[in-house]
Amino acid sequence: MLPELQRIELRSSHILFRAGESARYVHFPEGALISLLVTMEDGRSAEVSLIGAEGILGVHEILGAERCQYTAMVAVPGSCLRMGIKTFKLLCTNRNALQLRLDEYLRYLLVQVSQTAACNRLHRVKQRLARRLLMIQDRVGRAEFPMTHESLSAALGTPRSEVSFAAEALRFLRIIDYTHGKVIILNRQHLESASCECYHVIHREYLRLR
């Protein structure tokens, strides 16, 4: 694969493609973290998946979709490898190791998307916020990363005021801190306790994939 891959740097909030567009590349995040957002007609959005170094952006297109059904936005800046979709499809022929690995990721992705949908519908904002922060830390490998209340509001499909209230509750308990567009996880164990079972379901599958 290496001769066909190009390394690029992704900045925070950069849009790789929007819903309704055709994607030309598949992306393999290294240090970057990519958020998949579904946007409704009234402009509200919600995150359905996070993709880090464990995954690949472009699954729907690999499976034959002509148009993207979601917007791919950079949640955490960093490096990323990319390859033309047609080239990647050719490499996946004959049920080789690459195709088998892609199948494993698809199973994980189904768990993440379905559990996230249930979480967004059934759990409190503070639990959902804790889940997302834990998922981000797992993928970036550090306790401090760039994040704003606006981006969290878009990801959780929740008004900014509610996200700010939930974040302040975690800050009051000294579980997290935030300043100037950054979030710092101070106590991961307590953050896991503040989350819901959805994080643990997704995390088990994440560890199995990794």
- Indicate the residue among 119, 135, 157 that finishes a domain: 119
DSSP 78-98: EEEEEEEHHHHHHHTGGG-HH
What is the pLDDT at residue 34? 97
What is the pLDDT at residue 64? 81
What is the pLDDT at residue 94? 67
Number of Cβ within 10 Å of residue 100's Cβ equals: 10
CA–CA separation, 11 and 153 (whole Å): 19
Q: Is the CB of residue 102 less than 8 Å from the CB of residue 62?
A: yes
How many structural domains does the chain have? 2
Strands (E), the chain: 6-10, 15-17, 25-29, 33-39, 45-51, 71-76, 78-84, 144-146, 176-179, 182-185
171/189 same-domain check: yes
CATH of the domain at 155: 1.10.10.10
Q: What is the dihedral of CA 72, 120, 56, 142, to 10 degrees?
A: 100
Give the pLDDT of the chain (210 residues) as one tens digit per residue.
889 999 999 999 999 999 999 889 999 999 999 999 998 888 888 999 999 999 999 988 888 888 888 999 999 999 999 999 989 988 887 667 888 888 899 999 999 999 999 999 999 999 999 999 999 999 999 999 999 999 999 999 999 999 999 999 999 999 999 988 899 999 999 999 999 999 999 999 999 988
Which DSSP category does 57 fall into? B
113/169 same-domain check: no
CA–CA separation, 152 and 168 (whole Å): 13
What is the pLDDT at residue 31? 92
Which structural domain range is residue 58 located in?
2-119
CATH of the domain at 82: 2.60.120.10
Cα four-point dihedral sign 207, 200, 195, 42: positive
- Indicate the residue among 55, 90, 119 that finishes a domain: 119
